[in-house]
Structure 1
Amino acid sequence: MPPIELFDSATYSIQFQVNSEWRKVRVRAADTLLDALREGLGLTGSKSGCDNGDCGTCTILVNGLPIKSCIMLAVEADGQQITTIEGLANSPVLQTFAEKQAFQCGYCTPGFIVNCHGLLNIHPDANEETIRIWLESNICRCTSYEEIREAVKSVFAAHSADGAS
């Protein structure tokens, strides 16, 4: 990993792999990863909801793990592998959320979908209790929790069926 390049007293050039593509972006020391993704790279699928890590609308994957991008500094992501909702456009998780109508306004949906991918990465055989606990890290203000839970359970059932064949 090359050292972070200092442009002036206010900005740095960092690079990371976003959705399988290496990208460079200039950031200030105080910029969050959410700022870098949305403003620096135009990846606006991750949303700002609370700006303190409580709601999960900004959830992305960093090296396969779900991270709240509103509380991670952009400079901490230098050299890391990042997946945003845009990188999951053809995902069966996204398709299942649509089929199960696991959304109302849709503001929280990208965070839930990315979080579900993280759960699949870490706990591919998650049981209902693990799914319930995992989903507590995201908030849906429209209260679509039952539909979201059913979509996630459906994803895991399909994943288990694929693994069993």
Structure 2
Amino acid sequence: MDLHIAASIVPLLGWAVHGGILTRRLACARRDPLTGLHTRAGWTARAEHLIRRHPNAAVLLVDLDHFKTLNDTHGHAAGDAALVATADRLRAWCGHNGTAGRLGGDEFVAVIRDLAAGDLDALTAVLHRPLAASVGVCPIAELPVPLLTDALAAADAAMYAAKGRTRRGSHTTR
């Protein structure tokens, strides 16, 4: 009888281990391996949740200025260090007030519950090291319908407007 029970348990144990491995792989797929920030898929789910619950939320896009030059001049290790530093600073700025993600390359994204609670000037200043960064912001309250896709498009337009204004420093545009 004990052998019969053991024979039944072994496949169940195998499936449990397999399920645990798949769960860990899925969690890793939703995190950027270099920065530890959420990837687009992981961040989007959290951002949509925050936008639905917090009418004063805002979406930010951050792009590092002259990132390609840094990589070409000082190598990929320097570029990676700049990405990690940017991610750490963005994550710290969001704190418990929001969540940050990395869309790819040198482009980062964040959503915060209340734009007034976040010191945007402090974020811009801290992101200015090691490279200048362009930041675009879209307060959800300014949208006719609070949709993440519209907020991202507006933040993207604001970020590129900031990039066009200066090549020396970062500007925040709303």
TM-score (norm. length: structure 1): 0.32
**Larger RCO of the pair (alpha carbons < 8 Å, separation 6+):** 2
* More helix by percentage: 2
